[in-house]
Amino acid sequence: MSKQSFNLVIDPWIKVIVKETNQEKLVSLTEFFKEAQNYQQLAGEMRSQDLAILRFLLAILTTVYSRFDANDEVYEWLDVDKETLQLSESVDDDEYDQSDLQETWHQLFQAGHFSEIVIRYLSHHQNQFDLFGARPFYQVTADQYDLLVPAKKRIASGSGTVSIKQINRLISESNKTPALFTPKSGGEKKQIALDELTRWLITYQNFTGVTDKTKIETDEKFATPAGWLYKLNPVAAKGKSVFETLMLNLILFNQDTKDHYIKQKPVWEYDNINDYVTERKKMILPDDVSSLYTVWARLLHIEWDKNYQPTIFSAGMPMYSSENAFNVEPMSTWKHDAQGGADDFKPAVKSTRSLGIAMWRNFGQYINVENTDGNVMGVEPGLITWLHILKSKGLIEKNRHLNLMSVVLVSDDKRTQAPAVEVTDDLTIRADVLFDTESTQRWPIRIENMIDTTQQIGKDFWQFAATIGEIRNLDKSSFASQQSAKFYEQLNAPFKHWLASLSNDDDRDAKELEWKHELKQIVLDSAEAFMQTSTSRDITGIIVPTKEKSREKNIFTANNHLRYNIQKHLEG
């Protein structure tokens, strides 16, 4: 078999939508970074895949522009090796000037495209980006794999493999449990083109479950981990082009590290894979995003047949804890860890039980909302803090609409943690509204209050539906939950439209009243739909015994009670 090559730097593998034609196109890393401003969005097989690849691309940009400015010059306070473009020595914090990174971001954003240094960097590291190279991309060689796993799990044993249909998260099929309703059937599940395999390799390292039985050898026992992104509730910013999307998510500096330079170290910059594995065995959370954005959940080795179809060997690797990782992981919402202390937080992971809760209903997870006593609730995503910095420094327009998107691959909550469903959502809000600092009129506080009010009306409607279910002799809780989900589906678009319409020039009381009026109309219309389709049993009703006296319940009493609650919670 002749020597094969598939190099991510020069061979097309990234799926994008071209802005001018609105057509899909496959591009290499070189073409991608040269033309990012001309692409509408990433267009892979799944939005989760796009997110994993977005973070991979951001690792490249963060590494490059933390060393070089927008004119492709090394920062004066850095010493960079001209051959490898890596740091030659540590940085003296007294010489470090964070304002240089701010200026780089500003100049790039103003220019509207990336500079030549990104292409130069990729050219220097081209050998690490070849699927078939001496140091194969996102893999290890056969000798390295055999050295790191138990003797009985070495490649010659044939054990510890993961199939293409398992790595493909649209299928996620094990050999024991066939997946139904997949986009491929039969033998096609086992066939894959090299460009698609590359996308799934990156995705699988981020979103693998815990099915692998082979693990690398370590002194301390560890549980086979899920992929890092699989344990988050990710949020990212979306721009008007791929270039803007990358720039809005390109965190070059932050307030916590203004006096301390953070050295970026993506996985391909390790001198050899043994150094990387040794570092991973320590299970110490890195302090740089490039390490986190390129973290491996599995040690992979690929054996190729004569048709260049892969057999993939996989071994679990120790993974960092995500608890209190908010200082380095910017793309997640967080919640208090009930098992920890008052200052302990963990990712606010979405589960199959919370699929129907739209992004806007968790507004307080995305932006710090103050209580009336001035105490700050929770921890906001680092990405939101970054966008706040950009707005406060005048690097983005204060009246710019920020589009925040959430992409979550939800597991089935079972032992193997197989993907159950992908949930995507977004919300759009002006920067000056999201980061409003008006002392007594702050929009974030008012928005959160409106969400609380809206959800109270949601509870009122749930109770109305539960009463109808009780009258109809149904499981009232299940019936009410089904009707409540439909009710919130009706609310999603109007509330998101109202949120996007807000500005700091508004009469804030009037805008709140505007939403209350629309909310009232939606809930009354929803109740009226029940009234119009009522059955004779709904009208006749039932007699419910109580301690004092029996009480009649029918659709009219239920509707009257709902209207009373609406009046109390919206106007009382």
The pLDDT tens digits of the residues spanning 14-32 come to 999 999 999 999 999 999 9
pLDDT of residue 247: 98
The pLDDT tens digits of the residues spanning 350-407 come to 888 888 899 999 999 999 876 434 444 678 999 999 999 999 999 999 999 999 999 9
The pLDDT tens digits of the residues spanning 329-346 come to 999 999 988 887 778 899
Q: Distance between CA 271 and CA 292 in Å, rounded?
A: 18
Q: Distance between CA 224 and CA 232 in Å, rounded?
A: 17
Alpha carbon distances (Å) from 1 to 168, 190, 307, 416: 27, 21, 9, 37
Q: Please provide the average confidence, as pLDDT, over all residues in the chain.
A: 91
Percent of the chain residues past pLDDT 70, beyond the cut: 94
For residues 300 and 202, the answer to whether their CB atoms sit within 8 Å is: no
Listing DSSP states for 503-558 in one string gives -TTS-HHHHHHHHHHHHHHHHHHHHHHHHHT--HHHHH-EEE--SSS-EEE-HHHH
pLDDT of residue 171: 58
Q: Which residues of 411-446 are buried (b: 16+ CB within 10 A; e: fewer)?
A: beeeeebbbbebbebbbebbbbbbbbeeeeebbbbb
Residue 454, classed as helix, strand or coil, is helix
Which tokens in the block code for residue 571? 């106007």
Q: Distance between CA 175 and CA 262 in Å, rounded?
A: 44
Residue 1 has pLDDT above 50, yes or no: no
How long, in residues, is the chain?
572
Residue 303 has pLDDT above 60, yes or no: yes
| Nearest one of 257, 530, 406, 50 to 39, comparing CA atoms | 50
Q: Please give the angle made by the CA atoms of 352, 356 and 361, to the nearest 5 degrees.
A: 120
pLDDT of residue 377: 60
pLDDT of residue 180: 43
For residues 111 and 102, the answer to whether their CB atoms sit within 8 Å is: no
Mean pLDDT value of segment 103-110: 97
The pLDDT tens digits of the residues spanning 75-84 come to 999 999 988 8
pLDDT of residue 572: 66
pLDDT of residue 181: 45
Q: Distance between CA 567 and CA 564 in Å, rounded?
A: 5
- Positions of CATH 1.10.132.100 in the chain: 440-572
Per the listing, tokens 């009026």 go with 517
Residue 319 has pLDDT above 50, yes or no: yes
Mean pLDDT value of segment 88-109: 92
Residue 176 has pLDDT above 90, yes or no: no
For residues 392 and 334, the answer to whether their CB atoms sit within 8 Å is: no
Percent of the chain residues past pLDDT 90, beyond the cut: 78
β-pair partners for 409: 422
Cα pseudo-dihedral 390, 396, 401, 406, rounded to 10: -40
**Residue 37: how many CB atoms within 10 A of its CB?**
17
Residue 185 has pLDDT above 50, yes or no: no
Please report which confidence band the pLDDT of residue 295 belongs to, taking 50, 70 and 90 as the band edges: very high
Q: Distance between CA 118 and CA 205 in Å, rounded?
A: 24
| Nearest one of 208, 264, 243, 207 to 59, comparing CA atoms | 264
Please report which confidence band the pLDDT of residue 321 belongs to, taking 50, 70 and 90 as the band edges: very high
pTM: 0.93
Q: For 440-572, give the CATH class.
A: mainly alpha
Q: Which residue has the higher pLDDT, 107 or 169?
A: 107
